[in-house]
A and B are shown apart, each in its own frame.
Chain A
Amino acid sequence: MKWLWVPLAGYFALPLVATAVLSLWQGTRGYGFAAYVTLIHTPEMWNSLFLSARLAVETIIAGLVILVPAVFWMNLRLQRLRPVFDFLSVLPLVVPAISLVAGITAIYTGPDWLVGTANFLVIPYVILALPFTYRALDVGMRALDLRTLTEAAQSLGASWPSMIMRVLVPNLITALLGAALLTITIVIGEFTFANILLFNTFAVYINHIGSTSATQAAALSLLAFLLTWLAMLGVALGGRRAAR
C-alpha cells in the first residue's frame, strides 16, 4: 500500500505547488514576490480581510450565545428531541446556499444598521456554521456527565448562570475553540451570500482579483489556504491539549 502515497500526495500537492509557482511569476521579469508586495499595498484587500474577520467574530459570538444554552438544555432535559436537533443541524448542508440567500433576503427586513450593512451577513453565516458549531458543542457536552455535574453544582448552591459560566463553559473550552475556528474558516471562505448581497468580503475580493490579476489571485488563494490550515491546526492542537 506504500506506493499509494505517491499519487495521493501528488494529487494534493500539485495544485498547491502550481498555484505557488504562478503566484511568483513576474512575466518577463522572471520570478519574485511582486504579486505579494502589490497585495500588501492594496487597501481593498485589507478592508475585505478585516470585514471578513469582523463578521467571523460576530458570527462566533452570535452562534455560541444561541447554541450553548440550546445544546446544553437539549442534552440535559430534551434528549428525545435529539433527532430534531440533528436534522435541523444538517439542513444548511443540504439546502443550496443560493436558495438560502434568496429566501433570507425576502424574509428579512429591519433596521438599517442590520439590513443596510454587512452585519446582515451574520444571520446566514450563523446558519451556515450551525452544523459545525452544533456538532462541536454536542460532542463536547456528551463527553461530560452533564446531568451529574449540573446536579452537583445545584446541590452546592449554584444558580443556572453560575453553573453555566463556572462549570459548563470552562469544561467546554476545547469544543468552543473548535466551533470558533471552524466558523472562522467558513466565514472567511463564504462567497455566495456576500457576492449576491454586494458586500466586499475576503472571498469576494479573491474572486474580483482573479478577474484582474492572475498572479495576485494565486497569491491570495495561497494565503487564504494557509489561514484555513492554521485554523485547522489550532483545532487539532487545542484538542490534543485538552486530551492530555
Chain B
Amino acid sequence: MISLEAVSLRKVYGSRTVLADVSLALAQGEFVSLLGPSGCGKTTLLRLVAGFERPDGGQVRLDGRDIIGVPAAKRNMGMVFQAYSLFPNMTAEENVGFGLRVRGEATEARRKRSREMLELVALGEHMHKYPHQLSGGQQQRVALARALAIRPALLLLDEPLSALDARVRVQLRDEIRRIQREIGVAALFVTHDQEEALSISDRVAVMEHGRIAQLGEPAAIYEEPESLFVARFVGQMAEFDAEVDGGGVRIAGHTLPAARAAGHAPGQRVHFFLRPEHVRLVEPAAGLPGLVESRTFNGPTTTFRILLEGAGRVLATVPTVEARHAPGETVGITWDPSAPRILKLDGGAPPPDA
C-alpha cells in the first residue's frame, strides 16, 4: 500500500527551478533515500513533503489524501533535523513529550510514551538531562525519539547524521534503520553521503538539477547506473571514451572485453565505465599493460592508480593481502567481461564538478 505519494512536484525560486516535475511514491514501511549533490533539490523535496514550503505545482498525497493545503503542524510527520533542533530549555524527556503535550495528551500517558521512546533509542537513563549535557549522537537519538513519539504517518530525516563523527554516524545509521523497521513507519531520508544512502535504504532516488535521475534499489543504483550523472556520482569509476567493436570496445587501439557493448551498434562512440573493485592485476602480457603510478593503503584494501598508455588512468582496488605491486612497476589489468558499464554519449547531462 502506498503511504506517501509526490506527484509532479515543482518548485521555483525566482528564476531558478529547484524541483522540476518530481514524482515519488513510498510504500508502507519503506525506507527511501534522496541522494544527490548540494543544490540538487533533495532538501526542498523533503521540505515540501513536511509542509515547510509550498510547491508551485503538483501534489503531495498521504495515505491517498491530498495534503498540500494542510499546514506543517497538522501533517503528523515526525522530522529529524541536521542538528540543534532539541529545545534547549527542556530535558530529553520533555523534548520527547512535546508533541504529545501540544496535542493535549494527559501527563501520565505522555510520560509513559516519552520513556518508552527513550528506551527505544537506548537513552532511558539520560531522560532528565538537558540537550547541552548530551553528546551530538545522543541529541540526535532524542530527536529521533521525539519524532516517533507522536506516532507519525511518515518519518522525515534531513541529513540527521551529517554533523556527527564517523563512528557515531555508522552506529546511529544502523540504529535508525532498525528502529524504523521495528515501528514499520515509512521514512524519507535526505543525504549527500552515498554510502549512507546505499547501506540503509530499500530504494534510493539519485537527484540531479531538480529531477530524479534514477530511482531503484541500492544494488541497482550502484551496478546499473542509467545515466552519465549517476555513473559519475555514485562510487568511483574509471571512465574512457570508447568505440563499440563487436562483443567489446576499442580504447586507444586495444580491443577490450565488455559484454554490455553487444547492445550497441558497432562503431558507435560510447562511454566505458569500470569500477576499481572489478579491476584485476595480472602479468603485463596477460592483460592490458599499464604503469603503477601510486599505491594507497585503505586498511582491508589497497588502491593502485594505473596509467594506461594513450587511454588515461584507472583505479584498481584489491585486497591488501594480495597487493604486491609497487609504484613504477608495469602490470597488466583485466576484468570480468560483464563488469564494465557502457553508456551512450548522450546518456544524461554531465554532473557539476563533483
Binding site for B on A (CB under 8 A): 144-145, 148-149, 151-159, 162, 166-167, 170-171
Residues from chain B with a CB closer than 8 A to the CB of A145 are: 84-85
Residues from chain A with a CB closer than 8 A to the CB of B81 are: 148, 151-152
* Bound-complex Cα distance A86 to B103 (A): 38
The answer to whether B88 has its CB under 8 Å from any CB of chain A is yes
The answer to whether B146 has its CB under 8 Å from any CB of chain A is yes
The answer to whether B52 has its CB under 8 Å from any CB of chain A is yes
**Extra 13 A-B pairs, beta carbons < 8 Å, given A151-B79, A152-B86, A159-B73:** A152-B143, A152-B146, A153-B98, A153-B102, A154-B52, A154-B73, A155-B73, A156-B147, A157-B102, A158-B73, A158-B102, A171-B87, A171-B89
* Bound-complex Cα distance A148 to B163 (A): 14
Q: Are A156 and B146 in contact, CB atoms less than 8 angstroms apart?
A: yes
* Bound-complex Cα distance A156 to B79 (A): 8
Q: Which of A144, A151, A162, A170 is most buried by chain B, counting CB atoms within 10 A of its CB? A: A151
Residues from chain A with a CB closer than 8 A to the CB of B77 are: 155
Q: Are B87 and A152 in contact, CB atoms less than 8 angstroms apart?
A: yes
> Could you give 19 example pairs across A and B, Cβ below 8 Å?
A145-B84, A145-B85, A148-B82, A148-B83, A149-B85, A151-B50, A151-B81, A151-B85, A152-B146, A153-B98, A153-B102, A154-B51, A156-B73, A156-B147, A157-B74, A157-B103, A166-B98, A167-B89, A171-B88
Q: Are A148 and B85 in contact, CB atoms less than 8 angstroms apart?
A: yes
The answer to whether B150 has its CB under 8 Å from any CB of chain A is yes
Within 8 A of A (CB), among B93-107: 98-99, 101-103
A242 to chain B, nearest CB (A): 10
Question: Contacting B84 at CB < 8 Å: which of A148, A155, A159, A167?
Answer: A148
Q: Are B74 and A155 in contact, CB atoms less than 8 angstroms apart?
A: no
Q: Are A152 and B102 in contact, CB atoms less than 8 angstroms apart?
A: no
B61 to chain A, nearest CB (A): 18
Q: Are A162 and B79 in contact, CB atoms less than 8 angstroms apart?
A: no
Residues from chain A with a CB closer than 8 A to the CB of B99 are: 156-157
Residues from chain B with a CB closer than 8 A to the CB of A151 are: 50, 52, 72, 79, 81, 85
Q: Are B85 and A156 in contact, CB atoms less than 8 angstroms apart?
A: no
Q: Are A157 and B89 in contact, CB atoms less than 8 angstroms apart?
A: no
Within 8 A of A (CB), among B127-178: 143, 146-147, 150, 156
Question: Contacting A149 at CB < 8 Å: which of B76, B78, B82, B87?
Answer: B87
* Bound-complex Cα distance A152 to B77 (A): 10
Closest to B149 in A: A156
Question: Contacting B89 at CB < 8 Å: which of A152, A158, A159, A170?
Answer: A170
* Bound-complex Cα distance A156 to B103 (A): 9
Q: Are A156 and B150 in contact, CB atoms less than 8 angstroms apart?
A: yes
Closest to A162 in B: B102
Residues from chain B with a CB closer than 8 A to the CB of A154 are: 51-52, 71-73
Residues from chain B with a CB closer than 8 A to the CB of A144 are: 88
Q: Which of B82, B83, B85, B150 is most buried by chain A, counting CB atoms within 10 A of its CB? A: B85
Question: Contacting A155 at CB < 8 Å: which of B72, B82, B86, B88?
Answer: B72
Question: Contacting A152 at CB < 8 Å: which of B51, B85, B103?
Answer: B85
A110 to chain B, nearest CB (A): 38
A167 to chain B, nearest CB (A): 5
Residues from chain B with a CB closer than 8 A to the CB of A156 are: 73, 78, 98-99, 102, 146-147, 150
* Bound-complex Cα distance A156 to B217 (A): 31
A1 to chain B, nearest CB (A): 37
Given contacts A151-B52, A151-B81, A152-B81, contact A157 B76 (CB under 8 A): yes
Residues from chain A with a CB closer than 8 A to the CB of B74 are: 157
Q: Are A155 and B78 in contact, CB atoms less than 8 angstroms apart?
A: yes
* Bound-complex Cα distance A153 to B87 (A): 9
* Bound-complex Cα distance A170 to B99 (A): 17
Q: Give 1 or 0 for each of B50-65: 1 = CB within 8 Å of chain A CB.
A: 1110000000000000
Closest to B77 in A: A155
* Bound-complex Cα distance A151 to B81 (A): 9
* Bound-complex Cα distance A119 to B143 (A): 47
* Bound-complex Cα distance A159 to B150 (A): 15
Residues from chain B with a CB closer than 8 A to the CB of A170 are: 89
* Bound-complex Cα distance A136 to B173 (A): 40
Residues from chain B with a CB closer than 8 A to the CB of A157 are: 73-74, 76, 99, 102-103, 150
Closest to B71 in A: A154
Closest to A244 in B: B132
Pick the 10 closest A-B CB pairs, nearest first.
A156-B99, A170-B89, A155-B79, A152-B85, A154-B72, A145-B84, A158-B102, A148-B85, A154-B73, A157-B102
